[in-house]
Amino acid sequence: MQILGVIASGISGNLYFASYDSIATQTVGGSPVSSVTFNSIPAGYTHLQIRGYAQESSDTVAIRFNSDTSNNYTTHYMTGDGSNTASGHYASPTMMYIQTSYGASGGSERFGTFICDILDYSNTNKKKTIRSLTGCANPTVNGKIFLYSGEWYSTNAVTSITIQGSTGVNLTQNSTFALYGVKVA
């Protein structure tokens, strides 16, 4: 049985959606890759969501839309590392951050993870906004948790999404990214 939205046991205030469809998934195989891309994203949904877990030897996984590599993005964040909290922003980066990672301390079985929402992605009257909940819990030292938000300074419909390490390092084996389409009523 498919649910009609996040019924969440009758809790008020939850999101309701008419469908939540799996569009495509990319999993990195035996050879690390610099990026993965979802192309030809259909326009028939209201929002997109990417759920994933990734590993790379730097620090952060990032996202670009429509192959735009210019300074057309912004990212804000709140974070905690088990001891301290912080908030900040990147004013004009060339990508938006969506996932924190173990970096060089990660093993082959440890992955950071994230849920990234891309809102109203095909509306050509809006600049596109995202939010991402992400974290990695380290078994021996402090983990990291981030709540990111970002904006792409373009009103173009999002038709492709590229995911990569923020410093250009490779995504390693078993990193997995699943793209979903969400329709509201």
Partner 1 sequence: MPSTYTPIAHNKLTAATATVTFSSIPATYTDLIVVANTGQPTSTGEIYLRANGDSGSNYSYTVLSGNGSSASSNRAISTTVMFGGALGINFGLYTFYLFGYSDSVIYKPILARSDEAILNTNVIATGIWLNQSPITSLTLGQFNSGNNNFMNGSTFTLYGIKRA
Query: What gap in Å lies between CA 185 and CA 183, rounded to an integer?
Result: 7
Q: Report residue 9: phi and psi, to 5°.
A: 60, 30
33-92 positions binding partner 1, by CB under 8 A: 42, 51-53, 78-85
When the beta carbons of 50 and 63 are compared against partner 1, the nearer one is 50
Site string for partner 1, 113-152 (x = CB under 8 A): xxx-----------------xxxxxxxxxxxxx-x-----
Query: What gap in Å lies between CA 62 and CA 86, rounded to an integer?
Result: 19
When the beta carbons of 17 and 65 are compared against partner 1, the nearer one is 17
64-72, 90-98, 109-117, 157-165 -> range binding partner 1 (CB under 8 A): 109-117
When the beta carbons of 83 and 125 are compared against partner 1, the nearer one is 83
Sole residue written with tokens 């008419």? 18
Member of 2, 40, 124, 125 binding partner 1 (CB under 8 A): 2
59-67, 122-130, 155-163, 172-180 -> range binding partner 1 (CB under 8 A): 172-180
When the beta carbons of 63 and 182 are compared against partner 1, the nearer one is 182
When the beta carbons of 94 and 173 are compared against partner 1, the nearer one is 173
How many residues of this chain interact with partner 1, rule: CB under 8 A? 55
Contact set with partner 1 (CB under 8 A) = 1-3, 6-11, 19-25, 42, 51-53, 78-85, 108-115, 133-145, 147, 174, 176, 178, 180-181
